[in-house]
Chains A and B, each alone.
Chain A
């Protein structure tokens, strides 16, 4: 099992991504950026830490892309199940760490926890279809949230999620739903390495 963990980057890549996420959120919490709006929408003020929330989702796809299908497809161990447990477990761990950090007082980390769940859900949901390009989906979501997501000043559309404040319930529920949908997509449509 240690070789499987090493092959997937569970010993370096994922811990590195977690560390980068924690440090990034800590250092950029409270730093706000404003991007111009397009198509008559309102510009959204965005915390810089929202971009940092993309790191875990990108690392999850890098982890899945380290599979070796031509070798693993003739395996008799359940590698698919382990892969799904690894990526979903990591996404939940990052969310838990960020949620835990929010107890120290920063609201930005709670937003980062929620957004991490959303981005990880989008990335793993897109992976069976898009392969290594799957991180483009959360990046695209982030961009469209900034440029097109403002209903009025500091009031994003409900479906945007990313730029909502920490206490907004529908955003948290939405992020959790997207994560579950992503997990379901991974379970149903990911290329099988074993049977």
Chain B
């Protein structure tokens, strides 16, 4: 199952220029897809539209092959969304938080409690399940967000800049988890950090000013690198070439 933005136009205020104009994008139906782009490219807007938290001015956001649009409850049931800043709670423990989010997605109260414990175990937070989320570190909080997605049987997971603000160790732990999750459920992750390409992404989409500049496999993205680019800097070089920041030779 995959998500589709079909000729979507969106702007935040009536008097603003549209962030996206007749924009179409299809989230690949498997593996990890990275939506790469500089700040202001329209990534978070794209993610919010796909999550159904905002509605397009024109066009449709739908679950492909089902005709369910983002305005429907059924659509939102299938889509898990980890916002850029995961809100914390001083009232709820990690397990309660996961159960609460799954309950919000329409899951049954008694079943989500058991599942919340199980998915926290899967993301390596069994020991922290009784801690208030406000006391968790940034990396642990991102993993709680992944647990929320797993607890309500999402068909697609959307992660908006999940590695921002994480230290190198937390990033490594998070990437390992992401790899495991993406093997089961399609994941779309937005980022402006080229280092995130090390996540063995299946697909890379490069976005700038509301347009997709590249959409394809990771290798096809790296093929745009300058021939003289060092292997460790190929991703950076490909990014610069595609963004028009440097020539191909």
Q: Which residues of A contact B (CB under 8 A)?
A: 1-4, 6-7, 9, 66, 68-77, 79, 195
Contact = CB atoms under 8 A, between A and B. Distances in A.
A4 B76 CA distance: 19
B73 to A, nearest CB: 4
A158 B189 CA distance: 59
A68 B86 CA distance: 9
Interface in B29-69: 51-53
28 contacts: A2-B109, A3-B92, A3-B96, A3-B99, A3-B100, A3-B103, A4-B100, A6-B96, A7-B91, A7-B92, A7-B100, A9-B91, A66-B91, A68-B87, A69-B87, A70-B53, A70-B85, A71-B83, A71-B104, A74-B51, A74-B76, A76-B76, A76-B105, A76-B106, A77-B103, A77-B104, A77-B105, A195-B71
A73 B53 contact: yes
Given A68-B89, A74-B76, A1 B109 contact: yes
Contacts of A9: 91
Interface residues of B, number: 27
Contacts of B52: 74
Nearest to B75: A76
A66 B73 CA distance: 24
Interface of B: 51-53, 71, 73, 76-77, 79, 81, 83, 85-87, 89, 91-92, 96-97, 99-101, 103-106, 109, 148
A6 B101 contact: no
Contacts of B99: 3
Nearest to B103: A3
5 cross-chain pairs, A with B, having the tightest CB-CB distances, nearest first? A75-B104, A3-B100, A70-B83, A76-B73, A68-B87
A74 B100 CA distance: 13
Contacts of B87: 68-71
A189 B32 CA distance: 39
A76 B154 CA distance: 13
B79 A74 contact: yes
A70 to B, nearest CB: 4
B57 to A, nearest CB: 16
A71 B81 CA distance: 8
